[in-house]
Structure 1
């Protein structure tokens, strides 16, 4: 697939984490992420709220399907409140999660704790440049890599919180 116009490549890997194995996140800074995955599309409407300042960011994004799960084209448009409300009015499924930043081996990782729908695990992810991404080792408490499993993409988890393996 040729890279779609105006997109950039998001390079990331993801791991399933069992809640009992994850580090305590109670007092760490977080971002509340409210997503609506629009039916029959690859579009996502997102509201990100900083837990400490209350600052809000509104976006419409499309993450393209690509042959390589670790490098997918992504295009994003920032929205005002009216535009956000209009897109949220379209049919879709919702997901709410808290994203915590975790330091490991001198890099910042993201730990997603799902609030709605209730998912019985957490997702750890890391973004990095090509070449480095493949060499990064997750913390020992990350159970297993799920980067290549479509059922662990958040749009899939919003529809089916208990992924088939």
Structure 2
């Protein structure tokens, strides 16, 4: 059986006039932000299409219910640092999204909380307990000069385990091991039954 990684094209794709450079730094947090600090929330479901660099995203506002549907291609940079690579987005109609959603894919669900200047992702099972913040930048200078806020436990910009393409294939035991590498033990939330 061929793994998703093995099925990926080996040569990097070339940038075109529609691709833009993605500048981003990623950080681990010990837990979700206090609700009073959150300015907006979105429910995100990502489908990483098998054997491709394509991600199908459903992004729904928690406040209004407005939904954005898009197909994204991410071509990773061939070096470490805040330049993550090239990104191209295509916005879809519901019919286009539904058609593409029939393709084989691995799915990743999360809630994204806006706590400017960070977008903070709180992941669904089996990645529950993972709280990953990201800051995006329009210039290299802004990325270099960014000072992470005090709630950041560790920067994981160069740790490929904490990219969506890796996380979508991670098992619970993988996640716990990766977080332990940074001294994080996720809080287990138990549901009370009556």
Report TM bin, short chain. Answer: 0.7 to 0.9
SS at match of 1:89: coil
Which position in structure 1 is the counterpart of 2:53? 42
Give the TM-score normalised by the residue count of structure 2: 0.75
Mapping of residues 19-98 of structure 1, within 5 Å: 19=31, 22-25=32-35, 28=38, 29-68=40-79, 69-71=81-83, 72-98=85-111
- Gaps (5+ residues) in structure 2? 1-11, 182-194
Q: In structure 2, how many angstroms separate the alpha carbons of the residues matched to 1:70 and 1:134? A: 8
- Decide which structure has greater helix share: 2
1:118-140 Cα distance to aligned partner (Å, 9 max, x none):
33220011011211111111111
The Cα RMSD (Å) is: 1.9
Q: In structure 1, how many angstroms separate the alpha carbons of the residues matched to 2:140 and 2:13? A: 17
Offset at residue 46 of structure 1 (A): 0.2
Give the TM-score normalised by the residue count of structure 1: 0.87
SS at match of 1:85: helix
Q: Of the two, which has the highest radius of gyration? A: 2
Question: Which segment is superposed worse, 24-33 or 118-127?
Answer: 24-33
1:87-134 Cα distance to aligned partner (Å, 9 max, x none):
11111111111111113xxxx211111124433220011011211111
Q: In structure 2, how many angstroms separate the alpha carbons of the residues matched to 1:3 and 1:89? A: 27
Q: In structure 2, how many angstroms separate the alpha carbons of the residues matched to 1:55 and 1:101? A: 16
Offset at residue 26 of structure 1 (A): 7.0
- Gaps (5+ residues) in structure 1? none
Which position in structure 2 is the counterpart of 1:12? 24
Of residues 96, 104, 121, the one that matches 1:112 is 121
Question: Taking structure 1 as reference, are residues 156 and 77 closer, same or farther at Cα in structure 2, changes over 3 Å only?
Answer: same
